[in-house]
């Protein structure tokens, strides 16, 4: 490695005090840039530095530069390696400036290795106390500790990458919507009113006694009202709120890319979103092909046992009822004689690598094991012909395992769908690569049922998604006779087995909306009076979609939780571990809002003692 000297002044440095090194190991890298023009953004304007720590090359020799950054480490008492988030630069410091910093072993690949910088002046801008741990060890620490010191965790190469990539992807989406397709970015209120059936909404007490705002779960009503208002292409990167207690990997506040259009049908929305994702997808993550494949809800359930199939791998569910119909096993016979009774199978490639106990833990319905060599207890009841037809139908090879389930269609599919995912995980844990972690498989799921039986009272119906979804045009007549059979114009976008968005064509006819709310769903329409009135005021046909931004970016960067792509997330109990929010509030501060705390009995006692 050649060593060359570059003279400059003033050199600004941040020295950590004592032995602490605030920065962990970071390969020098420049974040991928997605700007539309070919010029790179200017990262050195307006600030004290004239170059970043990742920028100097032999071409700069002889120039005077100003660098700002953190001390990465000191070498041989006279070199200091300075770093920022663009990279590292070695600095030759006048002896008098060097304080006693421990020598460190250096094994970095420095892209600025062709030069080093001779400091003319150096200024210590701040000191760093001993950190609770080294940044490079951060990801090994408990998540609670990382959250408590989130401002240090953000220094990690992964968090820097995640947050910068998120910003760039969202910017590209905005360019696509605003600049390419004339969408209007409209901000809608977050202090709003309770939506019907909207449990899970945080309340915000107002200064009027007994009256509360709600923090809405989405801008659904507002975006429909904007269509009535003639803003025919709306979008918003919208903050949404949902109080789900302590569900894992949910956040009380989250962000969605919220879109609505007038005079549009389902195909229009699907094409818009495909184009947007293709346009905003980071180059380093590969190209994505459009249009995305599409599957109906019924087909998804039959083939994958779920409405959000992971299509990165096969192991599809296959109907084998016809083969086993005449097998003299009571369980099979009973299952097949039920209404919607069926026998289905999945074939696990190289499933013989799994232990019996691995699969046993999955046992929900009656499961039979089938390997070449017929180790299954079912084997003896099958004729040779039935055996070979089964093997042919499920395309089983040597070392594969076939799982069978018998029973009612939906239950069988759902059980096999779970077994399919669990088996994939088990095989991957054994080192087999089933799902390429760098692959992105998008899938539209369409033709959902419009209504579902309520879990607690299956005689009554509830909206499968929300009460504003329009019925499928072919099923409209069933609304009045057999609403449970109506398909909705709803669509979900699935990526690698995760639902990352959903939307629908909305009802724009006030009468139809009122019928569904009052007669089908038995909702109180009083809360939606303004929306019904708006639909009567010349509402255009309209539809839209919302993408879960946190989840999408999490999948994009391969994060293990959406907390990896949120700068300051809450814990799964909804706490901010850094600032200790939520926190107790002086009763006096609650007075203007006319609320008081109802202490649970045990706590109330503790407080009076």
State the CB neighbour count (10 A cutoff) for residue 220: 21
Q: Which residue number, 231 or 362, has a Cβ lying nearer to a copy of itself?
A: 231
- In degrees and rounded to multiples of 5, residue 220 shows phi and psi of -50, -55
Gap between the Cα atoms of 387 and 392, Å rounded: 9
What number of CA atoms fall less than 13 Å from residue 413's CA on the CB side? 19
Q: Which residue number, 260 or 400, has a Cβ lying nearer to a copy of itself?
A: 260
- Does residue 84 sit in helix, strand or coil? strand
Would you give the binding string for a copy of itself spanning residues 2-41, x where CB under 8 A is met?
----------x-x-x-----x----------x-xxx---x
Minimum Å gap between C-beta 380 and a copy of itself is 56
Minimum Å gap between C-beta 120 and a copy of itself is 18
The contacts of residue 583 (CB under 8 Å, 6+ apart) are none
Minimum Å gap between C-beta 156 and a copy of itself is 9
- In degrees and rounded to multiples of 5, residue 443 shows phi and psi of -155, 130
Residue choice 29, 98, 145, 204 for contact with a copy of itself (CB under 8 A): 204
Minimum Å gap between C-beta 24 and a copy of itself is 11
Q: Which residue number, 112 or 221, has a Cβ lying nearer to a copy of itself?
A: 221
Count of residues that bind a copy of itself according to CB under 8 A: 139
- Does residue 255 sit in helix, strand or coil? strand
**Binders of a copy of itself in range 542-601 (CB under 8 A):** 566-568, 570, 574, 576, 578-585, 589-591, 593-600
**Binders of a copy of itself in range 472-511 (CB under 8 A):** 508-509
The token pair at 100 is 């006693």
Minimum Å gap between C-beta 255 and a copy of itself is 6
Place of tokens 């480490």: 73
The angle, 0 to 180 degrees and rounded to 10, between the axes of the packed helices 409-429 and 297-304 is: 60
Residue choice 1, 2, 38, 45 for contact with a copy of itself (CB under 8 A): 45
The answer to whether 117 and 50 are in contact (CB under 8 A) is no
Q: 477-485 long-range CB contacts below 8 Å, 24 or more apart?
A: 479/512, 479/515, 479/516, 479/520, 480/515, 483/450, 483/451, 483/520, 484/449, 484/451, 484/453, 485/449
Q: Per residue in 278-297, is it b (16+ CB within 10 Å) or e — as a string?
A: bebbbeeeeeeeeebebbeb
Asked if 178 interacts with a copy of itself (CB under 8 A), we say: yes
The token pair at 218 is 């989405």
Minimum Å gap between C-beta 79 and a copy of itself is 20
Q: Which residue number, 229 or 379, has a Cβ lying nearer to a copy of itself?
A: 229
Asked if 208 interacts with a copy of itself (CB under 8 A), we say: yes
Minimum Å gap between C-beta 56 and a copy of itself is 17
**Binders of a copy of itself in range 123-162 (CB under 8 A):** 125-129, 131, 149-155, 159-160
Residue choice 539, 546, 552, 555 for contact with a copy of itself (CB under 8 A): 539
Asked if 532 interacts with a copy of itself (CB under 8 A), we say: no
Minimum Å gap between C-beta 322 and a copy of itself is 44
Dihedral (CA of 176, 32, 555, 151) sign: negative
Of the candidate spans 230-238, 288-296, 388-396, 429-437, the one that interacts with a copy of itself by CB under 8 A turns out to be 230-238
Q: Are strands 122-124 and 11-13 parallel, antiparallel or unpaired?
A: parallel
Gap between the Cα atoms of 326 and 330, Å rounded: 11
Q: Which residue number, 276 or 406, has a Cβ lying nearer to a copy of itself?
A: 276
In angstroms, the Cα distances linking 423 to 364, 377, 394 are 14, 21, 16
The token pair at 519 is 């007669």
Q: 204-211 long-range CB contacts below 8 Å, 24 or more apart?
A: 205/590, 205/593, 205/594, 205/595, 206/593, 207/592, 207/593, 207/594, 208/594, 209/594, 210/594
Minimum Å gap between C-beta 417 and a copy of itself is 33
Q: Which residue number, 250 or 435, has a Cβ lying nearer to a copy of itself?
A: 250
**Binders of a copy of itself in range 84-103 (CB under 8 A):** 84-85
Q: Which residue number, 184 or 432, has a Cβ lying nearer to a copy of itself?
A: 184
Gap between the Cα atoms of 124 and 578, Å rounded: 28
| Length of the chain (residues) | 609
Residue choice 68, 91, 122, 464 for contact with a copy of itself (CB under 8 A): 68
Asked if 253 interacts with a copy of itself (CB under 8 A), we say: yes
Minimum Å gap between C-beta 352 and a copy of itself is 48
Residue choice 9, 61, 103, 268 for contact with a copy of itself (CB under 8 A): 268
Minimum Å gap between C-beta 494 and a copy of itself is 21
Residue choice 27, 32, 104, 271 for contact with a copy of itself (CB under 8 A): 271
Minimum Å gap between C-beta 250 and a copy of itself is 13
Asked if 51 interacts with a copy of itself (CB under 8 A), we say: no
Gap between the Cα atoms of 255 and 549, Å rounded: 6
Asked if 284 interacts with a copy of itself (CB under 8 A), we say: no
Q: Which residue number, 194 or 409, has a Cβ lying nearer to a copy of itself?
A: 194
Residue choice 117, 122, 147, 228 for contact with a copy of itself (CB under 8 A): 228
Residue choice 163, 327, 434, 452 for contact with a copy of itself (CB under 8 A): 163
């Amino acid at each position: 490695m050649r060593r060359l000297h570059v003279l400059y002044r003033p050199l600004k440095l941040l020295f950590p005090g004592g032995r602490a090194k605030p920065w962990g190991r970071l390969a020098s890298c420049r974040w991928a840039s997605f700007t539309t023009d070919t010029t790179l953004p200017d990262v050195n304007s307006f600030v004290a530095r004239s170059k970043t720590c990742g920028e100097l090359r032999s071409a700069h020799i002889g120039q005077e530069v100003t660098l700002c950054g953190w001390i990465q480490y000191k070498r041989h008492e006279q070199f200091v390696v300075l770093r920022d988030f663009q990279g590292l630069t070695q600095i030759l410091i006048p002896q008098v400036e060097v304080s006693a910093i421990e020598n460190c072993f250096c094994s970095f690949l420095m892209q600025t290795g062709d030069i080093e910088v001779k400091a003319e002046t150096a200024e210590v801008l701040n000191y760093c106390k001993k950190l609770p741990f080294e940044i490079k060890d951060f990801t090994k620490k408990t998540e609670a500790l990382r959250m408590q010191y989130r401002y240090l965790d953000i220094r990690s190469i992964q968090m820097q990458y995640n947050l910068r990539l998120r910003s760039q992807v969202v910017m590209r989406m905005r360019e696509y919507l605003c600049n390419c397709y004339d969408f209007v970015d409209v901000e809608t209120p977050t202090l709003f009113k309770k939506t019907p059936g909207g449990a899970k909404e945080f309340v915000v007490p107002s200064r009027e006694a007994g009256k509360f705002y709600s923090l809405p779960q989405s801008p659904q009503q507002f975006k429909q009202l904007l269509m009535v208002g003639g803003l025919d292409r709306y979008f918003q990167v919208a903050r949404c709120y949902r109080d789900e207690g302590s569900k894992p990997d949910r956040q009380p506040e989250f962000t969605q890319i919220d879109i609505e259009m007038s005079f549009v049908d389902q195909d229009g929305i699907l094409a818009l979103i495909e184009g947007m994702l293709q346009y905003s997808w980071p180059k380093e993550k590969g190209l994505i092909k459009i249009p995305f494949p599409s599957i109906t809800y019924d087909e998804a359930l039959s083939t994958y046992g779920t409405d959000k199939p992971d299509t990165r791998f096969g192991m599809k569910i296959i109907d084998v009822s016809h083969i086993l119909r005449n097998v003299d096993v009571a369980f099979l016979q009973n299952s097949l004689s039920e209404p919607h009774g069926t026998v289905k199978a999945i074939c696990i490639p190289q499933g013989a690598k799994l232990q019996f106990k691995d699969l046993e833990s999955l046992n929900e319905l009656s499961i039979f094991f089938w390997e070449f060599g017929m180790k299954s207890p079912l084997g003896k009841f099958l004729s040779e012909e039935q055996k070979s037809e089964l093997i042919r139908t499920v395309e089983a090879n040597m070392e594969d395992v076939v799982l069978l389930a018998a029973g009612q269609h939906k239950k069988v599919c759902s059980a096999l769908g779970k077994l399919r995912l669990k088996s994939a995980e088990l095989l991957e844990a054994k080192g087999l690569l089933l799902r390429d972690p760098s692959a992105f498989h998008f899938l539209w799921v369409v033709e959902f049922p419009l209504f579902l039986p309520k879990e607690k009272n299956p005689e009554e119906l509830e909206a499968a998604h929300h009460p504003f979804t329009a019925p499928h045009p072919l099923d409209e007549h069933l609304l009045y006779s057999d609403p449970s059979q109506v398909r909705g114009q709803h669509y979900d976008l699935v990526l690698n087995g995760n639902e990352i968005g959903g939307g629908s064509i909305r009802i724009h006819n006030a009468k139809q909306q009122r019928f569904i709310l009052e007669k089908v769903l038995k909702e109180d329409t009083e809360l939606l009076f303004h929306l019904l009135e708006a639909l009567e005021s010349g509402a255009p046909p309209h539809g839209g979609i919302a993408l879960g931004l946190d989840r999408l970016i999490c999948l994009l960067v391969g994060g293990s939780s959406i907390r990896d792509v949120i700068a300051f997330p809450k814990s799964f109990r909804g706490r901010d571990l850094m600032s200790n929010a939520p926190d107790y509030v002086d009763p006096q501060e609650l007075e203007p809002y006319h609320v008081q705390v109802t202490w649970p009995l045990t706590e109330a006692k503790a407080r009076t003692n």
